[in-house]
Amino acid sequence: MRPARAIIHADLDQFFAAVEVLDRPELAGKPVIVGADPRGGRGRGVVSTASYEARAFGVHSALPISRAWERCPQGVYLRPRMARYVEVSRRVMAIFRDFTPDVEPLSLDEAFLDVSGSYRLFGDGPTIGRRLRRRIWEEERLVVSIGVATTKSVAKIASDLRKPRGFVVVPPGTEEAFLRPLPLERLWGVGPKLRRELGALGLRRVEDLLDAPKMLLERRLGRDRAGHLRALARGEDPRPVERRSAAKSLGHETTFSTDCDDRDRLEQTLLRLADELGRRVRKAGLRGRTVQLKLRWSDFSTLTRADTRSWSTDSTVEIYERAAAPLRELLAANRGRAVRLIGVSVSGFDESAQISLFEDPGSSGSALDRVSDSIRDRFGEGAIGPARLLSARDRGREEKAR
Ligand code: TTP
Ligand code: MG
């Protein structure tokens, strides 16, 4: 038998707020609320993060600032300083990389680490988790919550379970017992929509799902989804930690189930990809100068078209438009050819632009991008999308209804 993997998920507590308190110690112990354009609580925009003191008043990420103000008028309201958070994040990620090269950052303040190969140098998973936590406290004065497990999904659930200052170890072989009593929405990948579907079947906890007749789930969700979900519920998750150093490019691509030569459908797909990509770029606190389109024709020949500008962007609409223009040209010049794969990426991340532009949160994506990002953070991927995607979805529904 192969030895179990040792995977750590590390997530800083109240990250943006913690950095603000670090820089202004007089804020310690106060309800600190970081969000775009707070203007004494009367501004527009949503809460990026709230300190735990502020959460006690019902203030949380994605809550409109005006609502936060109603709930917590005595709060200290601050504009985000993305450049500062990016700088702190880099140093924290560098500490992670001292323990293993296999670090997969998920956002500015969280990462997976595969420490299976670090045993001889640093000790077992829990030992490394404790050392990590100590070093981040000693060097950065930040608190990190840690989950140690044999898979990514269990490690992620574990780090979140006892926040703040969480430290949860799930020893090999105990994954299913650990997951059984938890509410289903704890499973990574079960969003509000799926939770409602499962709730309608009377399933609330992971154990309900595991004990439910297989047929019931398969009939409701389809065989693939049901199988995937049961595996997650047992704590099985073969996905590897994907080593990523400071990103050089971020991209999304998709292969059509049947080759596609319909321009509208191609543009629609590109818009969906640009939307997902824009969101990732913004979440990572990046802006790039190059947008690249990738196409693979049905004969597998592949080409790319890059568009580089003097300014950098993280906007969904701009990413889409700069990839859609070469797409239209290529389709016009290759009539009759069908597309097998389409992709879009952003690169040329501009650090100086990042620093100066991020001082002004208004320049991080469009206002619409920011609102839709925070809605999706809260309500799940399907909650909102560009108007063309929504209208396409509605069209699909109408067709089915007919
Ligand atoms: P999280 O790790 O989700 O939140 P957190 O670190 O503030 O709090 P916790 O102790 O629960 O981990 O997100 C990390 C940072 O990302 C957070 O400090 C601010 C930012 N963020 C937003 O800007 N908008 C959002 O909707 C969320 C969820 C996070
Ligand atoms: Mg966090």
| Confidence (pLDDT) at 400 | 36
- The one-character DSSP state at 183 is B
Q: Which of 37, 47, 49 to mutate to test the pocket of ligand 1 (most atoms within 8 A of CB)?
A: 49
pTM, two decimals, is 0.68
Q: pLDDT by residue for the chain (402 residues), tens digit each? A: 567 899 999 999 999 999 999 999 999 999 999 987 777 666 678 899 999 999 999 999 989 999 999 999 999 999 988 878 888 998 999 999 999 999 998 888 999 999 999 988 999 999 999 999 999 999 999 999 999 999 999 999 999 999 999 999 999 999 999 999 999 999 987 888 889 989 999 999 999 999 999 999 999 889 988 999 999 999 999 999 988 765 578 899 999 999 999 999 999 999 999 999 998 888 877 888 899 999 999 998 889 998 988 888 999 999 999 999 999 999 999 998 999 999 999 988 865 433 333 333 334 566 677 667 766 666 565 566 666 555 544 444 433 333
Q: Among candidates 133, 118, 178, which has minimal Cα distance to 151?
A: 178
| Confidence (pLDDT) at 367 | 66
Gap from CA of 97 to ligand 2 centroid (Å)? 18
| Confidence (pLDDT) at 236 | 94
User: Which residues line ligand 1 at a C-beta cut-off of 6 Å?
Assistant: 11-16, 48-49, 61-62, 107, 109-110, 163-164, 374, 377
All structural domains of the chain: 1-172 (3.30.70.270), 176-233 (1.10.150.20), 249-401 (3.30.1490.100)
Residue nearest to atom 24 of ligand 1 (CA): 48
Q: Which helix (H) or strand (E) segment is 260 a member of?
A: strand 249-260
Residue nearest to atom 10 of ligand 1 (CA): 13
CA 214/CA 219 separation, integer angstroms: 9
| Confidence (pLDDT) at 182 | 97
CA 152/CA 243 separation, integer angstroms: 13
Q: Which of 9, 15, 92, 281 to mutate to test the pocket of ligand 1 (most atoms within 8 A of CB)?
A: 15
Catalytic residue, chosen from 20, 53, 110, 267, is 110
| Confidence (pLDDT) at 146 | 98
CA 151/CA 239 separation, integer angstroms: 8
Residue nearest to atom 15 of ligand 1 (CA): 15
Residue 13 CA, closest ligand 1 atom number: 10
Supply the angle between the helices 263-283 and 367-379 in degrees, to the nearest 10: 80
110 among known catalytic residues: yes
Q: Among candidates 322, 378, 368, which has minimal Cα distance to 348?
A: 322
| Confidence (pLDDT) at 393 | 46
CA 71/CA 50 separation, integer angstroms: 12
